[in-house]
Amino acid sequence: AQSVTQLDSQVPVFEEAPVELRCNYSSSVSVYLFWYVQYPNQGLQLLLKYLSGSTLVKGINGFEAEFNKSQTSFHLRKPSVHISDTAEYFCAVSEFNTDKLIFGTGTRLQVFP
């Protein structure tokens, strides 16, 4: 069975500092990987996804993530965060030929001025 682990429940960071949000997954088959962002009292919005090809994926709002198959990781990074990046970030995985997303427990990114 698939599972997703987000090791950090909260990540505090100062504005303009770099940030990395960690995500590890387990699956016995090939997977697709996603990062979603959720602002307070809103639905989830896709930041980026990895389906195949280049392991470095660029998304919206200056975020990028790197798929590492040997370490089963898909960490999210941004070189310089803004106050407006304060939100909950969810990593998710789905197996090939399924429509189902399995979410991690989320990481709350808090950006301070």
The site for another protein (CB under 8 A) is made up of 32, 34, 36, 41-46, 49, 51, 90, 94-101, 103-106
In the complex, what is the shortest distance from the CB of residue 99 to another protein, in angstroms, rounded to a whole number?
Answer: 5
**What is the CA angle 25-61-38, rounded to 5?**
55
The radius of gyration computed from the CA coordinates of the chain, to the nearest angstrom, equals: 13
| Closer of 80 and 98 to another protein (Cβ) | 98
In the complex, what is the shortest distance from the CB of residue 107 to another protein, in angstroms, rounded to a whole number?
Answer: 11
In the complex, what is the shortest distance from the CB of residue 63 to another protein, in angstroms, rounded to a whole number?
Answer: 15
Q: Which two tokens stand for residue 89?
A: 């970030």
For 49, other C-beta atoms within 10 Å of its C-beta total 16
In the complex, what is the shortest distance from the CB of residue 5 to another protein, in angstroms, rounded to a whole number?
Answer: 11
* Residue 84 backbone dihedrals phi, psi, to 5 degrees: -70, -10
Cα torsion for 43, 55, 76, 102, to the nearest 10°?
A: 40
| Closer of 42 and 84 to another protein (Cβ) | 42
| Closer of 42 and 55 to another protein (Cβ) | 42
| Closer of 15 and 24 to another protein (Cβ) | 24
Residues facing 78 on adjacent strands: 19
